[in-house]
Amino acid sequence: EVQLLESGGGLVQPGESLRLSCTVSGFDLSHYAMTWVRQAPGKGLEWVSSISAGGRSRYFADSVKGRFTFSRDNSKNTVYLQMNSLRADDTAIYYCVKGGNTTWSGLDPWGQGTLVTVSS
């Protein structure tokens, strides 16, 4: 069974940093693209970032470009979202999502999400 487990969420102050982790099981991470999607309170789903299976290609939403980085350690079955210079509007549930063999070939399944709250 494919499973994704996010961790690392929490309460931080504006300007601080946080690193989210997503540990997967049930599939070979090295063969799949991965994506982060978030949902702010009362809002819809918003794509954050995607990384290719090999890790060479990374894509970011304009809202996080230059502040967030996406990395992967296939040997640990884990991907990471490093979030710097956090702002109040980054407050959201962050979902880790399994992709296909390319970044554009589907998003499924999703993890349960981890809550990030940016507030002073």
Partner 1 sequence: QSVLTQPPSASGTPGQRVIISCSGSDSNIGDNYVYWYQHVPGTAPKLLIYRNNQRPSGVPDRFSGSKSGTAASLAISGLRSEDETDYYCASWDDSLSGWVFGGGTKLTVL
Which one of 7-15, 20-28, 42-50, 77-85 is the stretch in contact with partner 1 (CB under 8 A)? 42-50
Among 111, 114, 116, 118, binds partner 1 (CB under 8 A): 111
Which one of 12-20, 23-31, 80-88, 102-110 is the stretch in contact with partner 1 (CB under 8 A)? 102-110
Minimum CB–partner distance for residue 108 and partner 1 (Å): 4
Among 35, 52, 78, 114, binds partner 1 (CB under 8 A): 35
- Give the C-alpha separation, 32 to 28, whole Å: 7
Please give the full DSSP string across 28-51, using - where no structure is assigned. Answer: -GGGS-EEEEEE-TT--EEEEEEE
Task: Give the per-residue contact string, 54-93, with partner 1 (x = CB under 8 A; - = no).
Answer: -----xxx--------------------------------
The CA dihedral of 39, 56, 8, 17, to the nearest 10 degrees, is -90
Q: Is 80 in a helix, a strand, or coil?
A: strand
Residues in the chain, total: 120
Which one of 7-15, 17-25, 39-47, 84-92 is the stretch in contact with partner 1 (CB under 8 A)? 39-47
Closer to partner 1 by Cβ: residue 9 or 113? 113
Helix (H) or strand (E) holding 115: strand 114-118
